[in-house]
Chains A and B, each alone.
Chain A
Amino acid sequence: MKIWTSEHIFSHPWETVTQAVWRKYPNPHNPAVVGTDVIERRVVNGVLHTHRLISSRWGLPNWAETILGADRVCYGYEHSEVNPEERTMTMRTRNLTFANTVSMDERLVYSPDPNNSENTVLRQETIITVKGVPLTSYMENYLLNSISNNSFKGRDAMEFVISKINREVEDLVSTYKRSTSEILDHTKRSLGEITESALRSVDDISLAAKKSVDGLSDAAKKSIDDISCVAKKGIDTFTQPTPAGSMPRI
């Protein structure tokens, strides 16, 4: 049995990295992976559980194929859990092909970097066991070296997918910005039109009001004139000297 472990920090937030995990294949760095299928998936207590079948070409050298047998496509089984509250994603993958002689058990954990929450730490552990065939130890070492030498490919693949996701987000933001500025423009224009028509209405109203006020004061003036005229006439009548002896009897 051989154990290989490694740790890697992605300079991307956990949310971006976990999205990239689902979208990792296809990528130009891991052409051996030819298919991924979700066999089962459900959310239990807020945690997303997924079982996937990974189909890949192992590309074993001839000597290993002679010992293990040659399968054109090999299968791996992956079980993962995503806990958005704790921000952890764990993933366990085992090989199904050659399972009687070779056991490759890989465990990945993605979690935020405790020193910088904008980064994500990937902890990786692979346990390799070969049994029941000749050259066991030699074969284990061979697999260990090939995992170790190829591990950078998986990281490059993740970076490739992450930059794709980031580009999509940027595109979305710029589309959003464009449509926002269009909306703003539109709003400005509409507001301008509304203000203009409002100003026009206010003008109309004040003109009408002025006319009414003018009319009113005209009428009021006339009424006052009339009243004073009548009053004057009344007073005149009252103060006119009455002929003697014809004093009104009270």
Chain B
Amino acid sequence: MNSVGQECSDLKQTYDTCFNKWFAEKFLKGLAEEDQDCNNIFTAYQSCVKKALKSQNISLTEVEKDVLGTSEENRTPPSS
């Protein structure tokens, strides 16, 4: 499977392989809270993807923004 940035695909595949192993062998068995095993490769992959998103003008700020519990949440109009 490819990445949104072609240049990140190798990093993505290495990370996915690492993550799948961690998920199956540690996380599902309750053996590890944090994914320490794949931390370094994840950081490298992340920075590559962020750059690719920026250069392709894909903005995720709208979906990632917290709305619930902030002043932007739509409230029920006060009953009169």
Q: Which residues of A contact B (CB under 8 A)?
A: 15, 18-19, 22-23, 25-26, 33-41, 43, 46, 48, 51, 53, 55, 75, 77, 82, 84-85, 94, 96
Q: Are A77 and B2 neighbours in the complex by a CB distance under 8 Å?
A: no
In the complex, the answer to whether B15 meets A75 with C-beta atoms within 8 Å is: no
The residue that B4 contacts in the complex, of A25, A37, A41, with Cβ under 8 A, is: A37
Residues of B within 8 A of A (CB): 1-4, 8, 12, 15-16, 19-20, 23-24, 27-28, 30, 33-35, 42, 45-46, 49, 53, 58, 60, 63-64
- A sample of 27 cross-chain residue pairs with beta-carbon separation below 8 angstroms, ordered by A number, consists of A15-B24, A18-B28, A19-B20, A19-B23, A22-B20, A23-B16, A23-B20, A33-B1, A35-B1, A35-B2, A35-B3, A37-B4, A38-B19, A38-B45, A38-B46, A38-B49, A39-B49, A39-B64, A43-B27, A48-B23, A53-B53, A53-B60, A82-B27, A85-B30, A94-B63, A96-B60, A96-B63
A44 and B21 alpha carbons, distance in the complex (Å): 20
**Contact at A77–B42, with CB atoms within 8 Å?**
no
- Highest count of chain B CB atoms <10 Å: which of A18, A25, A39, A94: A39
